[in-house]
Structure 1
């Protein structure tokens, strides 16, 4: 379930991430929050700007899809966690459902709906789920560009 992406114009991706040892972590409690997708986008965009993390638009899209899936299929998200290190960004959306997400296979671009996990797989380098006693966490990781 891994996808490697690069700049479409073959330009070098050069970024210097200035994160402390151990990285940065931010958590947004979302339980019963109004407009969770919009709030998650705003929260993510702010964190990525503070961390000078590149590719914010794609990552904000990925976060929006994970949160929307929690709204549609899991009774809503409980929290969103972003953890950035020098090597990767990890996005986690926890919810109260124990049902693992199931990507629609094969992806059918002309069909309405069912594109969220396809987008997550395309934008992320890795993704998956981690069960916990009160539900699950759906996570995605994006590797940091090499400087």
Structure 2
């Protein structure tokens, strides 16, 4: 694990997919939450957090929705790092019926919806992609900053 990255382990034995946690030789509990802090100057972290999400979802999620999750995560992280300049915190949680990814920044104010024109190149499409591809998404404001989140429905593999 890299500095700033933690994986929390689920505490209840019911999620161990058929094996009791008290048996000798039982599988190690699988992480159910990925948590990563990113510095505001670390644009290389976008690829690293995508890779961390890919690894986190490898045995927990179907391939196609995992690829969508990677794309949407990279859009939200890029927005947070470029537009807020105060770093971000990424959290991804897997539940039996869905995946939730949150990107928290530390600047007040809601993200501005933007409809890019042809002259914008590849800029300005992040929230448009999130709105188009996520099953649900939104923004929760906090005293210091906000959390932009998305959810993808689906079953585990």
TM-score, normalising length: structure 2: 0.71
Alignment-derived partner of residue 94 in structure 2: 84
2:15 to 20, 30, 33: 20
Equivalent in the alignment of 1:137: 147
Larger Rg: 2
> Residue 47 of structure 2: which of 22, 38, 49 is its match?
38
Runs of at least 4 residues off by over 6 Å: none
The alignment's TM-score, normalised by the length of structure 1, stands at 0.75
Q: Which runs of 5+ in 2 are unaligned?
A: 1-13, 17-30
Q: Deviations over 1:80-131 (max 9, x none)?
A: 00011011110000111112112214x5466321111111112201111111
Query: Is there any run of 5+ residues in structure 1 with no aligned partner, and where?
Result: 1-18
Q: CA RMSD in A?
A: 2.5
For the 8 Å contact 1:109–1:115, the answer to whether it is kept is no
Paired positions, count: 127
- Larger RCO: Structure 1 or Structure 2 (Cα < 8 Å, ≥ 6 residues apart)? 1
Question: CA offset at residue 77 of structure 1?
Answer: 3.5
Give distance in 1, aligned partners of 2:87 and 2:112: 17
